């Protein structure tokens, strides 16, 4: 499987909660210059959140320095600190409750979850083999079930999540789709369980899919290692998770507001893995042929309040153990004001960036490509350099001078069986010289 780069296509989505709960009309943009529709309905160019007008603000620079020096964006690096392996960063019980609440708030179609899941499942079409038995692990697992559409030759799909209400909702939706004939024809199984403890036998799966379900796991290397153990030889692991640049605007706004109102900072945005961690995680878990690529989605909201509502409906609100249990009203209003001031667009909307890390790895198998033994090469790089470097010409121009090709102005030569062969257009002599026929 080859590495895939960020898609140049642009997609426009509206937040589904504008219909059910009168939330924002959010627009998802896949690329810096992709066109997006503003809330006023005018087609305009999408912009990322880096704004030149914010660079000179002292509170902005202070927040950047604080985030760079004092707050770690990645919790994966902390897993390698001696003596800290048993420290839980995320409250898994709280996360289960948050997802229970989100199960009845989320819409069937979400601009972020649908876009990420569709892009992840698109990678199955790059594989020539089929995967009859698959595990659908956490996150947007119901979106995976709905959007799978027979890709990968999946016949049996086991959906697993820590939230009982999420599983119950998925079972209801699966039964409705089966009754109406919508969705792929496959056997759906549902399981309530923690992503950190996968209760499946080794070598029992052909495919493991996790769409935005691993960035809340405390022992991320251990969870990925269990996925690799559950896979059969040459089984495929596909996963996405939010990266460290996700919600960077909200992170900065919260820091500035807290420093101004409370003279201190408490983490309001959960730490996330960095891109550099993803490849190491795949290798550490024992996957072969690891592949990592990154995408960014920018969604625009009327205000920070609608952004928080959308995060709550996705089950993506803060679950860090070391957090304040209450939010000061003045701090919350100040955060919204700072967000609008630092990152607000001319049409009154605010952007929110979601960095998505895509990971792919294969369970080791003897049939896979393997690097040659060290020292087994028969050609050196020096020889290759000489072979592909053009020779210096006599005039010192640095390019190889081409020999002139003779051109015949007379009638084409006929093939007499001795001088060469004629195809009616060119005549090739035994010496290898080509003559152009007018």
Residue 394 domain-assigned (yes or no):
no
pLDDT at 268: 74
The CATH code of the domain that includes 330 is 3.40.50.150
Angle between helix 304-314 and helix 92-103 axes, rounded to 10 deg: 100
Residue 395 domain-assigned (yes or no):
no
pLDDT at 184: 66
Task: Please count the structural domains in the chain.
Answer: 1
Sign of the dihedral defined by the CA atoms of residues 395, 399, 403, 407, in that order = negative
Which three-class secondary structure state does DSSP give residue 12?
coil
Residue 417 domain-assigned (yes or no):
no
Residue with tokens 């005039």: 395
Share of the chain above pLDDT 70, in %: 69
Residue 399 domain-assigned (yes or no):
no
Query: What letter does residue 269 receive in the DSSP assignment?
Result: S
Give whole-number Cα distances, 206 to 19, 154, 229, 287, 425, in Å: 39, 9, 11, 14, 56
- In whole angstroms, what is the distance from residue 273 CA to residue 220 CA? 10
pLDDT at 399: 52
What would the pLDDT profile of 39-93 be if each residue is shown by its tens digit? 332 222 222 233 333 344 444 444 444 444 333 444 454 444 444 445 788 999 9
Q: What is the pTM of this model?
A: 0.68
CB 235 within 8 A of CB 362: yes
CB 28 within 8 A of CB 12: yes
pLDDT at 51: 31
Residues contacting residue 305 through CB under 8 Å, at least 6 positions apart: 336
Residue 381 domain-assigned (yes or no):
no
The DSSP annotation for 215-251 comes to TT-SSHHHHHHHHHHHEEEEEEEEEEEEBTTTTHHHH
Residue with tokens 């912009």: 47
Which three-class secondary structure state does DSSP give residue 70?
coil
Owning domain of residue 172: 17-362
Residue with tokens 């509502």: 309
Tens of pLDDT along the chain (438 residues) come to 444 444 433 344 444 444 444 333 333 333 333 333 333 322 222 222 333 333 444 444 444 444 443 334 444 544 444 444 457 889 999 999 999 999 989 888 899 999 999 999 999 998 889 999 999 999 999 999 999 988 999 999 999 999 999 999 999 999 988 888 776 678 899 999 999 999 999 999 999 999 999 999 999 999 999 999 999 999 999 999 999 999 999 999 988 988 888 877 777 777 888 888 899 999 999 999 999 999 999 999 999 999 999 999 999 988 888 777 777 888 889 999 999 999 999 999 999 999 999 999 999 998 888 877 888 888 888 888 888 888 765 555 555 544 444 444 445 555 454 444 444 444 444 444 444 444
pLDDT at 182: 76
Give whole-number Cα distances, 333 to 64, 82, 141, 254, in Å: 21, 40, 34, 10
- In whole angstroms, what is the distance from residue 219 CA to residue 75 CA? 10
Residue with tokens 């998505």: 356
Residue 197 domain-assigned (yes or no):
yes
Residue 326 domain-assigned (yes or no):
yes
Residue 22 domain-assigned (yes or no):
yes
Long-range contacts from 368-373, C-beta under 8 angstroms, 24+ separation? 368/234, 368/288, 368/289, 369/289
């Amino acid at each position: 499987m080859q590495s895939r780069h960020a898609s140049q296509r642009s997609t426009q989505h509206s937040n589904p909660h504008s219909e059910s709960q009168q939330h924002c009309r959010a627009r998802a943009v896949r690329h810096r210059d992709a066109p997006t529709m503003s809330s006023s309905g005018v087609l305009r160019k999408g912009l990322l959140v880096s704004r030149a007008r914010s660079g000179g603000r002292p509170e902005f620079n202070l927040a950047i320095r604080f985030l760079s020096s004092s707050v770690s964006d990645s919790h994966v690096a902390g897993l390698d600190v001696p003596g800290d392996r048993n420290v839980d960063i995320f409250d898994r019980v709280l996360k289960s409750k948050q997802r229970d609440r989100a199960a009845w708030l989320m819409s069937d179609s979400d601009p972020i979850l649908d876009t990420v899941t569709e892009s992840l499942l698109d990678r199955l079409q790059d594989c020539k083999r089929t995967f009859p038995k698959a595990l659908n692990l956490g996150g947007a697992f119901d979106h995976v079930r709905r959007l799978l559409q027979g890709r990968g030759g999946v016949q049996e799909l086991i959906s697993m999540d820590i939230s009982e209400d999420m599983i119950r909702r998925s079972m209801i939706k699966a039964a409705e789709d089966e009754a109406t004939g919508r969705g792929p024809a496959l056997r759906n199984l549902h399981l309530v369980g923690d992503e950190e403890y996968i209760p499946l036998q080794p070598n029992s799966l052909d495919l493991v899919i996790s769409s935005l379900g691993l960035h809340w796991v405390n022992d991320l290397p251990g969870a990925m290692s269990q996925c690799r153990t559950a896979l059969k030889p040459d089984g495929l692991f596909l996963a996405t998770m939010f990266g460290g640049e996700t919600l960077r605007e909200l992170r900065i706004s919260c820091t500035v507001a807290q420093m101004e109102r409370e003279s201190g900072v408490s983490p309001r945005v959960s730490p996330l893995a960095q891109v550099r961690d993803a490849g190491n995680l795949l290798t550490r878990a024992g996957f072969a042929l690891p592949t990592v690529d990154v995408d960014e989605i920018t969604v625009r909201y009327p205000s920070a309040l609608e952004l928080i509502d959308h995060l709550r409906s996705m089950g993506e609100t803060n679950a860090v153990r070391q957090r304040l249990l209450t939010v000061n009203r003045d701090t919350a209003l100040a955060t919204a004001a700072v967000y609008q001031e630092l990152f607000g667009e001319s049409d009154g909307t605010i952007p929110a960036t979601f960095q998505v890390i895509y990971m792919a790895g294969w369970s080791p198998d003897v049939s896979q490509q393997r690097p040659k033994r060290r020292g087994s090469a028969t050609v050196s790089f020096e020889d290759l350099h000489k072979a592909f470097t053009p020779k210096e010409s006599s005039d010192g121009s640095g390019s190889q001078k081409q020999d002139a090709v003779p051109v015949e102005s007379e009638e084409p030569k006929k093939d007499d069986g001795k001088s060469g062969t004629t195809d009616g257009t060119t005549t090739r002599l035994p010496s290898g010289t080509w003559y152009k026929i007018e």
